[in-house]
Amino acid sequence: MSDGTRRLLPRLLPLTPALALLLLFLAGPIAYCVLIAFTDLQLTGQAEESFVGFENFRRAFGDDAFLNAVWLTLVFTVLSSLIGQNTLGLALAALMQRASKPVRTLTGGIVVTAWVLPEVVAGFLLYAFFRREGTLNAVLDWLHLPSQNWLYTLPILAVSFANVWRGTAFSMLVYSAALNEIPKEITEAAEVDGAGGLRRMWHITLPMIRRSIGTNLMLNTLQTLSVFGLIWVMTRGGPGGRSQTLPLFMYEQAFQNSLIGYGTAVALLLLLVGALFSLVYMRLLRTEV
């Protein structure tokens, strides 16, 4: 053993428990995922699965239910993450800069509580909120506006709003931290020059926090791509698959239809999309460091 390795080994020793866990329980399943995505593995009654090549993927792209799930995942992500959480979070953070302290604390507390609640509890609360006899319709009746059975007529919209309710706090906290770092003199100078609120936001504030915007969009999107419990509790992906995003589709194929191989192929596609976003996120971080 050379002198270098003899010094290096004891230093790397503390890494081993973490490495073992990561290899066995994270890298292992991912490798296994790649492997069985190319087989016809089923849940029951099959002695030996066989290698089927790209059959599962061919099947997916010819499957209307899969394409429907891709479309709904896109709608869900754009509506709830890119538009909803991100914009509302930024608006809240910007308003908080100017609001009085008690209002700021109260609003922050309520929004963060929605975020900290366990996923399933949030699901139940929003189920109760959107149901036919739920709170939203009660409010609409009171305002003499037409009410409807939201979970039946517009399920994807209902679950998107649910995700906004649950996830906005994260964006709000990220943007609050970013806005607090902008030196006061800059905004004050613009104000004295007579730049109005929206113009100041567009020309001065947004360019200064653009990295936070990038990071936040990536993390929101990654989080939204893997939402399962919230939708499961509210609609089970229904009615008729109209709120079935990819994670729910994958679950249904693997367990209700017993097609583990096919479900895993879908999982692999989801993982690839996630990995792509993850790489973009890392690039964004690197420019920041």
Partner 1 sequence: MSLSSRRGTRRLAADAGLLTVAAAFVLPLAWLVLSALDPRAGLRVKAPDGLTLDHFDAILTDEITFTPLLNSLILCGGATALTVVCAALAAYPLSRFRSRLNRPFLLTILFATSLPITAIMVPVYALFVRVELIDTMRGTIFFFAASQLPFAIWLMKNFMDGVPKELEEAAWTDGASSLQSLVRIVLPLMGPGVAVVTVFSFVMMWGNFFVPFMLLLTPDQMPASVSINDFFGNRGMVAYGQLAAFSIVYSTPVILLYVLIARRLGGGFALGGAVKG
Name which of 210, 198, 228, 257 is nearest 65 in CA terms.
257
CA 110-169-203 angle, to 5 degrees, is 120
Choose, by CB under 8 A, the member of 83, 186, 206, 285 that binds partner 1: 285
- Asked whether position 83 contacts partner 1 by CB under 8 A, the answer is no
143 backbone dihedrals φ, ψ, rounded to 5°: -90, 5
Q: What part of residues 104-163 is at the interface with partner 1 (CB under 8 A)?
A: 104, 106-108, 110-114, 116-121, 124-126, 128-129, 131, 133-136, 138-139
Choose, by CB under 8 A, the member of 6, 14, 193, 287 that binds partner 1: 14
Choose, by CB under 8 A, the member of 156, 233, 234, 244 that binds partner 1: 233
Q: Collapsing DSSP states into helix, strand and coil, what is residue 13?
A: helix
Binding map of partner 1 across residues 19-38, x = CB under 8 A, - = no contact: x-xx-xxx-xxx-xx--x--
CB of 241 to partner 1, least distance (A): 18
Instruction: Return the structure tokens found at 51.
Output: 């290698």
Kindly determine how many residues on this chain lie close enough to bind partner 1 according to the rule CB under 8 A.
103
Stretch that binds partner 1, among 53-61, 68-76, 77-85, 190-198 (CB under 8 A): 190-198
What is the DSSP track for 52-91? -TTHHHHHHHT-HHHHHHHHHHHHHIIIIIIIIIHHHHHH
- Asked whether position 189 contacts partner 1 by CB under 8 A, the answer is no
Tell me 178's DSSP state: H
Stretch that binds partner 1, among 15-23, 52-60, 65-73, 149-157 (CB under 8 A): 15-23
In the chain, DSSP finds a helix count (H) and a strand count (E) of 18, 0
- Asked whether position 98 contacts partner 1 by CB under 8 A, the answer is yes
- Asked whether position 9 contacts partner 1 by CB under 8 A, the answer is no
CA–CA distance, 38 with 41 (Å, rounded to integer): 9
